[in-house]
Amino acid sequence: MENEKNIIQDLIRRAMKAREYSYSPYSNFSVGAAILSESGKIYTGCNIESASYTPTICAERVALFKAVSEGERKFKMLALVGGPKNGEKKTEEIVSPCGVCRQMLYEFGKDLKVVMADNEEKYEVRMLEELLPYGFGPDNLI
Ligand code: THU
């Protein structure tokens, strides 16, 4: 039986690998994400930027959209890793999902575990509902 720590660390490793593919020539801030579906599959993503800036998409949404486009609808856990490519961080804080990604993840369930990691040993786990309290989601619409 895989324990939760192994699952978390595996997801972090996959997010770290995905981060290597980050296309972020404008911000030089690279992010990788990995999302575990209820079916047990893992989908990864990295941030992808645009010269016109606004079409830029975060790693979390790339991972989520890959999964949803493969038919997945329910998710257990998402891990993300990120920071400046040169490693010089302004704060010691671990990267956390932006508001747009929190909203998009909320669409598929507030019970998602979000693992915000620097590496396999240094991470924090929060429920999506903690990151987006009083969120607006599918239940609010008829
Ligand atoms: N970014 C992510 O991929 N995920 C986050 O949670 C925070 C921000 C990306 C978007 C952009 O390419 C770069 O990081 C700087 O904002």
Position 1 confidence tier, pLDDT thresholds 50, 70, 90: low
pLDDT at residue 51, rounded to an integer: 98
Mean pLDDT of the chain: 96
Indicate whether residue 102 lines ligand 1 (CB < 6 A): no
Which residue type sits at 64? L
| pLDDT at residue 46 greater than cutoff 90 | yes
Position 56 confidence tier, pLDDT thresholds 50, 70, 90: very high
Average pLDDT (106-131) is 97
pLDDT at residue 93, rounded to an integer: 82
pLDDT at residue 89, rounded to an integer: 79
Average pLDDT (42-65) is 98
| pLDDT at residue 34 greater than cutoff 70 | yes
Strands 113-117 and 75-84, bridge-based pairing = parallel
User: Domains, the chain, ranges and CATH?
Assistant: 2-141 (3.40.140.10)
2 annotated active-site: no
State how far the alpha carbon of 13 is from the alpha carbons of 17, 39, 44, 107, 116, in Å: 6, 20, 11, 26, 12
The single residue of 2, 60, 121, 129 carrying the catalytic annotation is 60
- Which pair of tokens denotes residue 49? 């930027």
Among the residues of the chain, which ranges form H helices?
4-19, 59-68, 99-106, 128-131
Indicate whether residue 49 lines ligand 1 (CB < 6 A): yes
State the distance from the centre of ligand 1 to the C-alpha of 2, rounded, in angstroms.
Answer: 31
Q: Supply φ then ψ for residue 65, to 5 degrees.
A: -65, -35
